[in-house]
Structure 1
């Protein structure tokens, strides 16, 4: 069906699920490879005290590249790829929740808000342990660490690839037990549920507004490609303070969101809540364009054959 501004919306029941999941994994993997360095930079900027190591996103990129090489920008990447599972759970939950909510309220904003928040809740329950491990790996620098744990196994190439992850796993378990892998879970929920719940309504809002301002023959996909980054920048700005606190709770081993917030304010003031925002927006802009274009294209490619000719793009 189409909404009132003629932006085509493909619902879950219109899709060939096998195609959707296969194409989705491939698309997500390509996105992660392209934006992961900025995810690492954002995390390091959020955790560092003041500007003790890096003066900003570009400065961090140059310094990491010079000191650690290209591999330094991909620390923890292999572990982070396991979040592909949560990504598929996110999409499935989002689409199924939209379908369920539509029985009671057909407003696109309401459906997007509820579905986005629900999808993030499910995804974060899977993602947090992976994030905790990958973020500790991101903190490893040449011969030192910015976090609580420092890897020790660097004797051979095999240990560089696999030993560091095992070492971090053991240290987290020895220090905090199984609960250590869910450190910052509440902070993650308070970051990503609002982020997701805000992103989808703003995405549809910007798409509708742009549709009303552009000629009728303007491709819908172009409007969606512009709307995605606008929504991402809006959501990132609104939720960045909680994202900074989340990163510190998980990397520094804090146990209280409130105490972490108070410490951050005492040490760095309100500006501390904006740390990593530029890196977050920089990584979100290209990735969101790819995600939006890829997601909408993915749904079109996954459309059931009997419905293809009925759609107008």
Structure 2
């Protein structure tokens, strides 16, 4: 019988790397496809002025589905799949950083915070240019300064999402701001996702341990981890949502100052603006975390070195 509260963490050195990467790509792609519509809705809610077009998550979903069909919920998805590279970079950095920190400290919280932050830094450096382009595809409008007008969103969204549109958006971004235009909102992204990642991992392990202490000893660890993931996601999303709203505005509207964008947001829409898209973000992040946890923990179990297979505790 295993000690209550002690959920074993499979570390980097325990893995067969060939299995880990081949199965990891499939896991990442399926996860992104599942949660992409919620990410699209979140972006549109955060960028619109007030409630000019959508009154909330459910209203946005119904209007997009009615006006654009299912394809409308996947605008920009093909381009977004290039972030598969950043997904693999994220998990590699996370595992390697955990190993480095473990040489100096046995604290799982410290390892999770440092590794989560480092992984997000690497991933966002790869992801931001892809996000900048895919977010404009999500909005269905890409004028000179990328400031989408709500009344035009549905009209332009009826056009098919093609690589031709991606090329046009990329050309306009480069013409307006040069190469740095593809990193518009990079600082805002780091200020959003590094804290989010650094918070998610320790909260995830904390919730998993607390659930294990309260669950019957025969309860599968994977089930406890599956519950802990969404709980950690909801916690981290709520804490970091204000910065996520600013990030979306900076990237889509072509702004250069995080501070000025935040000030204008508060001046125009009040303190409630920092909660914009929070429900959509939680709706997106909690199932994402559930899928990631189940997928990632299963992936690590399936990728164990042959001599460690007996350590698989489901």
For Structure 1 versus Structure 2, the TM-score category normalised by the shorter chain is over 0.9
2: distance between equivalents of 1:88 and 1:13?
17
Q: Cα offset for 1:169?
A: 0.5
Corresponding residue of 1:137: 137
User: What is the RMSD computed on CA atoms of the aligned residues?
Assistant: 2.1
Corresponding residue of 1:247: 248
> Which TM-score applies when normalising by structure 1?
0.94
1: distance between equivalents of 2:225 and 2:165?
41
Corresponding residue of 1:296: 297
SS in 2 for 1:263: helix
Q: Note the alpha carbon deviations across 1:4-34, whole angstroms, 9 max, x for none.
A: 8220110001101111111111011111111
Q: Note the alpha carbon deviations across 1:45-79, whole angstroms, 9 max, x for none.
A: 00000000000001000000111111111111011
> Which TM-score applies when normalising by structure 2?
0.93
The answer to whether the Cα contact below 8 Å between 1:3 and 1:9 also exists between their aligned partners in 2 is: no
Q: Cα offset for 1:147?
A: 3.8
Q: Cα offset for 1:286?
A: 1.4
- Taking a change above 3 Å as real, the CA distance of residues 93 and 261 of structure 1, as seen in their structure-2 partners, is same
SS in 2 for 1:37: helix
Corresponding residue of 2:278: 277
Corresponding residue of 2:17: 17
Q: Cα offset for 1:310?
A: 3.9
Q: Which runs of 5+ in 2 are unaligned?
A: none
Q: Which runs of 5+ in 1 are unaligned?
A: none
1: distance between equivalents of 2:4 and 2:12?
19
Corresponding residue of 1:8: 8
2: distance between equivalents of 1:144 and 1:67?
21
Corresponding residue of 1:168: 169
Q: Note the alpha carbon deviations across 1:133-176, whole angstroms, 9 max, x for none.
A: 001111106x999943799xx9xx9x852211011001101111
- Taking a change above 3 Å as real, the CA distance of residues 3 and 212 of structure 1, as seen in their structure-2 partners, is closer
The answer to whether the Cα contact below 8 Å between 2:144 and 2:176 also exists between their aligned partners in 1 is: no
The answer to whether the Cα contact below 8 Å between 1:139 and 1:145 also exists between their aligned partners in 2 is: no
- 1:212 pairs with 2:213: yes
The answer to whether the Cα contact below 8 Å between 2:220 and 2:313 also exists between their aligned partners in 1 is: no
Corresponding residue of 1:148: 147
Corresponding residue of 2:259: 258
SS in 2 for 1:244: helix
2: distance between equivalents of 1:147 and 1:278?
25
2: distance between equivalents of 1:4 and 1:109?
18
Q: Note the alpha carbon deviations across 1:247-303, whole angstroms, 9 max, x for none.
A: 000000111111101100001111000000000101112121111000000000000
SS in 2 for 1:208: helix
The answer to whether the Cα contact below 8 Å between 1:188 and 1:243 also exists between their aligned partners in 2 is: yes
- Taking a change above 3 Å as real, the CA distance of residues 66 and 310 of structure 1, as seen in their structure-2 partners, is closer
Q: How many residue pairs align between the two structures?
A: 306
2: distance between equivalents of 1:240 and 1:274?
7
2: distance between equivalents of 1:167 and 1:246?
23
Corresponding residue of 1:238: 239
